[in-house]
Structure 1
Amino acid sequence: MSSTAQESLLGAWRPLAEKALKGQSLDTLDTETASGIRLGPLFAAADPSYLGRPTLGPWQVVARADAADAAEQARTDLENGVAALALVFAGAPSAFGRGLAIGSLGELDAALGGVMLDIVPLRLEAGHGALAAAAMVAALADKRGTRPAALHAGIDPVGTFAFTGIAPTWSDPSALADAVAGVKAIGAPGTALLADGRIAAEAGAAPATELAFALHSLAAMLRLADAGGLAAADALAATSMALSANENQFATIAKFRAARRLHRLVADACGSDAPLVLHGETARRMLAYSDPQTNLLRLTIATFAAGVGGADSVSVLPFDAEASPFARRMARNIQSLLIEESHVGRLSDAGAGSGAVEAYTDALAEAAWTRFQLFESEGDAVASGKVAEMVASDRASAEKKLAAKDRVMIGVTIHPPTTATPVPPEPAASPLPTGTFAAGDFASLKAASADGSSLADLAIAPPADAATCPPLTPSRVAASFGG
């Protein structure tokens, strides 16, 4: 549509809108987002900027293995449409009180009993134990004589620091470069490092802050890797990103699209053309405690938005508090219905060319870049507390809007259940060691795993002078409403 035609349409629409508003200003139709972006009621058509999945086809469906019956979970999921597994270890930022209590090669082998590694891609989510988990997978690949179809090791020293408040002592430059080399030596395609924005989002960060935190993590790891002798371009190719997806459909679509645009800026600065490997997970923060069935609405919207926004892979959380078999089945089926019946994944970037989506993407990318620059000006924005400060501000603003009912949450702020569903206590699992290890390099950890050593026996407590920061603690939106 030409600009003249657009102006003609706008001119015809404006008096009709003003008449319907009965004298109120058109500004009353504007919306202010959680990131402080003001969105108007009408957008001009835009030239498409394609920011979706770089490969053809739908996103990869990922299921979490995160409980004592992990082998059964994995087999059930793989037999019912799941393409990849996320091994979520206890103590990881994404474990939420659950997680695999695995500390030895034998336990990992049992947890993957019946899983054929050569046809199943793996994601590792182990927080402080990421290096040890990756070393155990390397030892398991040697033991079985087969490597995973793909491996994303999830080593994230910056995010782990922000989550726990204690810096991982193995994240010095040489150790990080050594870890990348160790994961690469397994021979599976994938990535070694992770810039995980979910950690900030689950603590209450707005989309712009989540993106800025993920970029800050990415930049910090690139600097560490470069100082350890690994070229920034190689480190970038070995790094993936994870973002949360929530019930705000267009904010989620714009966030995932903006992530690719911002990653391209970093890649250009590194002289790399490596595409972003982008994983999405539905946000636990948006899930209600006491009316869990309404969570299915939020999960479906979030999954749709992540897929349309261009995620390469998506993991959907169970809708109830206990992660029941039925809730896990529904987590699979949401994705199966979107991909196989609704064909949502046929377009890699369905929002390209939409005036509203393109404008929202641009505005969110600009806001995130501004916050990223603020984090970078701090040097280490995690250690300085700037990240925690901004996340706390975002969370307070969101809770204020919810309390004033400027934001609606079905089953919580409106239509609450007459009888609240009992919420079982979340299980407590033993995490992997949180300090450094007596065998400090990847090869030594792999050898210790292969010899049958328990990683707990190799753990060394963090030194007294380890860097600390205010931790980013996950919280549910519904918690303030008696859930």
Structure 2
Amino acid sequence: MDTDFEDDWQHWVQMVNKTTGADWQDLSHLTEDGISIKPIYPLEAVAAHAVFTNPGWQMAQFVADDAAPQVLNKSILDELEASVSMIMLPLAVTSQMTADHMAEILDGVYTDACQFGHPHGGDVITYANIWADYACGAEYSGHDSNDLAVHLGADPVADIMLDLCGQDTAKDRAKALAAWGVERQSDLSSCRCFAASGDVYHRYGLTDGQELGLSLASLIWQLRLWEQAGYSLAEALPKSVMRIAVTSDLYSALAKTRGARMLLRHLCSVIGVDKSKTANLMPSLHVFTSDRMMTRIEPMNNVLRHVTASLGAALGGAEIMTTLPHDWLTGSTDMSRRLARNIQLIMRDEARLDQVADPAHGAPSLEAISQAIAEKAWQVFQDIEARGGAMAAVTSGMVRDWAAAASASRQARMDDRDQAMLGINHHPQQASEMLPPLLIENGMMRGGMARPAQPWEDLRQAAAAKDMRCLILDHGDSDKAHISRWLDDMRMAGIQAAHVSVADAETAEAQILAAKPHLLIADPAAQSMLSGHSQDIGALAVIPLDAKGVTRRQGIMAVIERMAG
């Protein structure tokens, strides 16, 4: 550092120390991947890397979950009229799509002016044949089939991960799809058969570094498959897609997206792609806003989550972006899909973010975090390759163990309020009605099985039909934060709760007799008062006031189950 900068850096350090009352180095925190995030970074923390020079992205939005051809056609036209450039077809639609319906579904659609995308899952060979037959059929006569661009989204690694099939079946299907791509490339030359489905890995519960590392390993597996089918790397790379998911943590979403671009560029360098051709040959990066971060409780809060996630993806360099509707977990509506696409339209047409190339370039903190997550992902990728590749990592149970450990840690932070979720563990509203059911896709609920809000939603559903009462007793000098947490938990679950400070055993017993609680919460002093009187309490359970979040949640659920008999 030069002298002037050293003086300026020391000034910032002193300001942080003075403002926070702590040493700046003690304010760092670790991400799920063990990356240290510092409160401030020196200008020369890392060397700056320009990640992308061509700003802008394609809007890829899901249409209605209704497979009726007329409804689907209207939904597609609505999205295209609002400047969406890629139509994403939900599994609820693609699973019922037939060749006979294609003309009606695409009536009035200028297929040469947009693209079509499939999420992971379903019978991909069938979908491929439907699109190819449509391109060759009479309904498409007069059009160039090369202009019909389709992303099929096949990922054999994700198939195994979700127990949709075994390893041998997944390999056979992938080989068949690659052979189909070679055989019918003249019918549908703009078709991208495979995608490294990081959004699925994210839903499974992996950390950002694990998701990106496994996505790279999956991408490499697919490239090897294309080579075996007779494609060169120059032909296979542009047909490749990496999909990832980003959450509402703005800087994390930005750094993850930039990190993914760094990884794809580095991958091209490692496999020998000429630097001058990298921009044209590099696999596309498709970024989804996370459904793992979503909630059914107060779903309008999901709009806020998707705004910051979309902003992070745009600033980080997404080439294709999908902003999910706020009610995606239970089935989208016309209004929710409009809100979702308006998020991108405002960023593009009002904020003009599509006019700025890599706005995070040169910002020390964002550069450092982006490079750290890319390095972590590359390490994960190398570990996977050392174990035999993506297929071996998934079938061995290694990835399952990673996801289980990450999900358990994430759930504990959520339960203990170390990870805030508006409407669940922060500022919950009183529960007033039953939650709508989750949609099922690929045999899994939307949002996946590792969604942190799910256990609390289950608790609310279980408590909805019970007239459950909770009494919180303390000696008057307990930590108010513990009391607040219990009251918030009860409010979110729709359980009647009262808090009373007591000075002696007689008062405590009188309060219990009056309230007749099913669940009693007591601080150590109150528990001491009641010792020896457990037979007279009548509560189904007694839980300490300072219990951890998971203990609170599981304790409440245990009482509900006992009430159900």
Q: TM-score range by the shorter chain?
A: 0.7 to 0.9
CA shift, 1:140, in A, is: 0.9
Counterpart Cα distance in 1 of 2:431 and 2:350: 35
Count how many residue pairs are aligned between Structure 1 and Structure 2.
431
Query: How far does residue 170 in structure 1 lie from its aligned partner after superposition?
Result: 6.2
What runs of 5+ residues in structure 1 fail to find an aligned partner?
A: 91-98, 435-471
Partner of 1:67: 66
Cross-structure match for 1:15: 14
Return the letter of the residue paired with 1:279.
H
- Kept after mapping to 2: 8 A contact 1:290/1:422: no
What is the aligned partner in structure 2 of residue 316 from structure 1? 323
Distance 2:213 2:27 in 1: 28
8 A contact 1:149–1:189 mirrored in 2: yes
Cα distance in 1, alignment partners of residues 428 and 184 from structure 2: 48
1:30 aligned partner: 28
Aligned mates of 1:327, 1:204 — CA distance in 2: 26
Could you tell me which residue of structure 2 aligns to residue 442 of structure 1?
Answer: none
Q: 1:103 to 1:149 in 2, by over 3 A?
A: closer
1:44 is paired with a residue whose SS is coil
Is 1:398–2:398 an aligned residue pair? no
Structure 1 residues 103 and 61: alpha-carbon distance in aligned structure 2, compared to 1, 3 A threshold: closer
Is the contact between residue 124 and residue 154 of structure 1 (CA under 8 Å) also seen in structure 2? yes
> Structure 1 residues 310, 370: CA separation in 2 closer, same or farther (over 3 Å shift)?
same
Shift of 1:80: 2.1
Between the aligned partners of 1:234 and 1:324, the Cα distance in structure 2 is 39
Partner in structure 2 of residue 160 of structure 1: 159
Cα distance in 2, alignment partners of residues 122 and 278 from structure 1: 15
1:371-410 aligned within 5 A: 371-379=380-388, 380-410=392-422
2:233 and 2:189 mapped to 1: Cα distance? Answer: 21
Whole-Å separation in 1 of the counterparts to 2:287 and 2:303: 17
> Residues 211-226 of structure 1 correspond to what in structure 2 (within 5 A)?
211-226=212-227
- TM-superposed deviation, 1:385: 1.3
Determine if contact 1:151/1:188 at 8 Å carries over to the other structure: no
Amino acid at match of 1:49: H
Corresponding residue for residue 196 of structure 1: 197
Identity of aligned residues (%): 27
| Structure 1 stretches of 4+ moved >6 Å | none
Using structure 1 for the length normalisation, give the TM-score: 0.83
Structure 1, 3-12 or 348-357: larger mean CA deviation: 3-12
SS in 2 for 1:34: coil
1:50-102 residue CA offsets vs partner (Å, 9 max, x unmatched): 213x534x211111134323222111111222122012324xxxxxxxx4332
The residue aligned with 2:171 is: 171
What's the secondary structure of 2:408's corresponding residue? Answer: helix
Give the equivalent residue in structure 1 for 2:461.
none
Q: Quote the residue 1:340 is aligned against.
A: 349
Inter-partner Cα distance in structure 1 for 2:432 and 2:287: 30
More helix by share: 2
Cα distance change on mapping 1:250 and 1:136 into 2, 3 Å? same
- Partner of residue 135, structure 1: 129
Corresponding residue SS for 1:210:
helix
Counterpart of 2:503 in structure 1 is none
1: distance between equivalents of 2:414 and 2:216?
28
* Gap regions ≥5 residues in structure 2: 459-565
CA distance in 2, matches of 1:16, 1:174: 60
* Preserved contact between residue 237 and residue 282 of structure 2 (Cα < 8 Å): no
Aligned to 1:465: none
Are 2:326 and 2:340, in contact at CA under 8 Å, matched by a contact in 1?
A: yes
> Structure 1 132/271 Cα, relative in aligned 2: closer, same or farther at 3 Å?
farther
CA distances 1:93-124 after superposition (whole Å, capped 9, x unpaired): xxxxxx43325211343333332212221112
Query: Structure 1 residues 105-114 or 313-322, which shifts more?
Result: 105-114
> How much has 1:125 moved relative to structure 2?
2.5
Deviation at 1:473, TM superposition (A): 4.8
| SS of corresponding position for 1:205 | coil
Rounded to whole Å, the distance in 2 between the matches of 1:350 and 1:180 is 38
From 446, 452, 455, the counterpart of 1:477: 452
1:238-276 residue CA offsets vs partner (Å, 9 max, x unmatched): 211111021011111111111121122222232223223
Match of 1:77 in 2: 79
Shift of residue 382, structure 1, vs aligned partner: 1.0
**Counterpart of 2:5?**
6
Aligned to 1:280: 287
Contact 1:290 1:420 in 2 (8 A): no
Q: TM-score w.r.t. structure 2 length?
A: 0.71
**Cα contact 1:176–1:224 (8 A) shared by 2:** no
- 8 Å CA contact 2:48–2:362 kept in 1: the answer is yes
Partner of 2:48: 48
Bigger Rg, which one? 2
Distance 2:335 2:177 in 1: 40
Identify which range, 242-251 or 188-197, moves more after superposition. 188-197
Structure 1 counterpart of 2:239: 238
Shift of 1:280: 1.0
Alpha-carbon offset, residue 428 of structure 1: 5.5
1:477 is paired with a residue whose SS is coil
After superposition, the CA RMSD in angstroms is: 2.4
Picking from 33, 36, 39, the partner of 2:37 is 39
